Chain A
């Protein structure tokens, strides 16, 4: 299976095709509903982001609290479509990839094409299994949001499926 590493290079992203399975290693950032709302507000008000979005991959995930002696709790993907309204602005601001589950809106597909991004699917409803691929977890921003805070995760060989590629081809079409 193809292995890819962060930061994802433009050249590599272009080669990914919808339907292809990959193993991702490197850094990803969790962000879901509330964090997206805050990032969008930062964009609207021209404020700085709490972390550098450029070239980063956002994982739609709110993990369970970390059990003692573990790196992370259960941490599967949440439904991506709830983030659709915010995604084009985030792609414009520099994110390059997203990991989640389920369909995306036509506007998101267009934005992925325009900014040459990629949308990955993670095994849905497999939070315990996915926790095994996380090697490090650090709080990055919005601590008060609890499970919806932004966490920096280091993953190793996280199994993903390319859901939407840079040409806008979607696995759900």
Chain B
């Protein structure tokens, strides 16, 4: 059951652009004053429609899949969960004609295959299993940054690190971007938070009031960078900034930034 659910989610995530992203792209198109930027946004929107209609991958970089599992404590899993997920990814990728981009060893490289996925399991109450499949391309994954700030860092310092990360990504990682930010936890955990932040519907406001305000301020600042679609100028540099935070240590303030290209892909199902 899990294997088949992961297979289907892998296909739908890669072929059908998330509703919230498509809506944000259309809004950006309407608001964008730069002519060339509008043309590119139009191509991006057409690409999403075509991918859906013809069953093609939105982007040829179908990513290294992250699978987030929220596993109910009362749920019974027969056999190996990891194996079911990896087999599901491979099966979905083969059936959906999605790209085999995974090399077995980071140094030795070798012939590319379909798996393994990167799997994150979180225990939850109840007996449901919530699966989220997130194929993220490496053009944007390569632009990820982490900085360990002092706890006394000012808001301005933190903001300017996030904005500078976007500036460094520049035209290379397929803007307009969606910016995931992880605040707090440990170094590794803040990176996970940054990626998980990308799962949240970008048109829904953050439930924490101060964080919601920070997201809006950052988005405004980022859209003043004039990077624009394909980095050729315009005000549509990012569609959204999503922040997720977690308690942290008295001595630190980890800040992680995960940049997503405009083809932010994820699909969720509850079993």
Instruction: Please give the residue numbers on chain A whose beta carbons come within 8 Å of chain B beta carbons, in ascending order.
Output: 34, 61-67, 70, 73-76, 78-81, 101-103, 121, 123-129, 131-132, 144-148, 159, 161, 171-172
Q: Is residue B173 contacting chain A, with contact meaning CB distance below 8 A? A: yes
Report A-chain residues with C-beta under 8 Å of the C-beta of B130.
Answer: none
Report A-chain residues with C-beta under 8 Å of the C-beta of B56.
Answer: 64, 67, 70, 73-74, 127-128, 131
CB distance from B207 to the nearest CB of A (A): 30
Q: Is residue B33 contacting chain A, with contact meaning CB distance below 8 A? A: no
Cα of A112 to Cα of B139 in the assembled complex, Å: 24
The answer to whether A128 and B99 touch (CB under 8 A), given A102-B170, A103-B172, A144-B111, is no
- Which 6 pairs of residues, A with B, have the shortest CB-CB distance? A102-B172, A128-B51, A126-B47, A74-B57, A125-B174, A129-B47
Instruction: Please give the residue numbers on chain B whose beta carbons come within 8 Å of chain A beta carbons, in ascending order.
Output: 40, 43-44, 46-48, 50-51, 54-62, 97-101, 109, 111-112, 139, 142, 170-174, 230-232, 261-263
A-B contact count (CB 8 A): 125
CB distance from A173 to the nearest CB of B (A): 12
29 pairs, CB–CB < 8 Å, chain A vs chain B: A62-B60, A64-B57, A64-B60, A65-B99, A73-B57, A73-B60, A73-B97, A73-B99, A81-B172, A101-B171, A101-B172, A102-B170, A103-B170, A103-B172, A103-B231, A121-B232, A123-B40, A123-B44, A124-B174, A125-B44, A125-B58, A125-B262, A126-B43, A127-B56, A127-B57, A127-B59, A129-B46, A145-B111, A147-B100
Once the chains bind, are B111 and A132 in contact (CB under 8 Å)?
A: no
Once the chains bind, are A62 and B54 in contact (CB under 8 Å)?
A: no
CB distance from A153 to the nearest CB of B (A): 13
Report B-chain residues with C-beta under 8 Å of the C-beta of A145.
Answer: 111-112
Once the chains bind, are A128 and B58 in contact (CB under 8 Å)?
A: yes
Report B-chain residues with C-beta under 8 Å of the C-beta of A121.
Answer: 230, 232
Once the chains bind, are A67 and B60 in contact (CB under 8 Å)?
A: no
Q: In this complex, what residue of A is CB-closest to B262?
A: A125
CB distance from B51 to the nearest CB of A (A): 4
Report A-chain residues with C-beta under 8 Å of the C-beta of B60.
Answer: 61-64, 73-76, 78, 127, 147
The answer to whether A102 and B109 touch (CB under 8 A), given A123-B40, A128-B47, A147-B101, is no
Once the chains bind, are A34 and B109 in contact (CB under 8 Å)?
A: yes
Main secondary structure of the interface of A (DSSP, over half): loop
Q: In this complex, what residue of A is CB-closest to B57?
A: A74
Cα of A146 to Cα of B61 in the assembled complex, Å: 13
Q: Of the candidates B40, B43, B62, B109, which one forms a contact with A64 in the assembled complex, judged by CB atoms under 8 Å apart?
A: B62
Report B-chain residues with C-beta under 8 Å of the C-beta of A64.
Answer: 56-57, 60, 62, 97-99
CB distance from A166 to the nearest CB of B (A): 20
Once the chains bind, are B262 and A128 in contact (CB under 8 Å)?
A: no
Cα of A40 to Cα of B173 in the assembled complex, Å: 25
Report A-chain residues with C-beta under 8 Å of the C-beta of B171.
Answer: 101-103, 172
Q: In this complex, what residue of A is CB-closest to B43?
A: A123
Cα of A101 to Cα of B172 in the assembled complex, Å: 6
CB distance from A106 to the nearest CB of B (A): 15
CB distance from B90 to the nearest CB of A (A): 13
Cα of A161 to Cα of B228 in the assembled complex, Å: 15
The residue among A64, A73, A103, A129 with the most chain B CB atoms within 10 A of its own CB is A64
Q: Of the candidates A78, A81, A128, A131, which one forms a contact with B61 in the assembled complex, judged by CB atoms under 8 Å apart?
A: A78
The answer to whether A125 and B59 touch (CB under 8 A), given A73-B97, A146-B111, A147-B101, is yes
Cα of A79 to Cα of B172 in the assembled complex, Å: 6
Once the chains bind, are A74 and B59 in contact (CB under 8 Å)?
A: yes
Cα of A84 to Cα of B171 in the assembled complex, Å: 15
Q: In this complex, what residue of A is CB-closest to B263?
A: A125
Once the chains bind, are A66 and B57 in contact (CB under 8 Å)?
A: no
Once the chains bind, are A102 and B231 in contact (CB under 8 Å)?
A: yes
Report A-chain residues with C-beta under 8 Å of the C-beta of B261.
Answer: 125
Report A-chain residues with C-beta under 8 Å of the C-beta of B232.
Answer: 121, 161, 171
Q: Of the candidates A61, A81, A101, A129, which one forms a contact with B230 in the assembled complex, judged by CB atoms under 8 Å apart?
A: A101
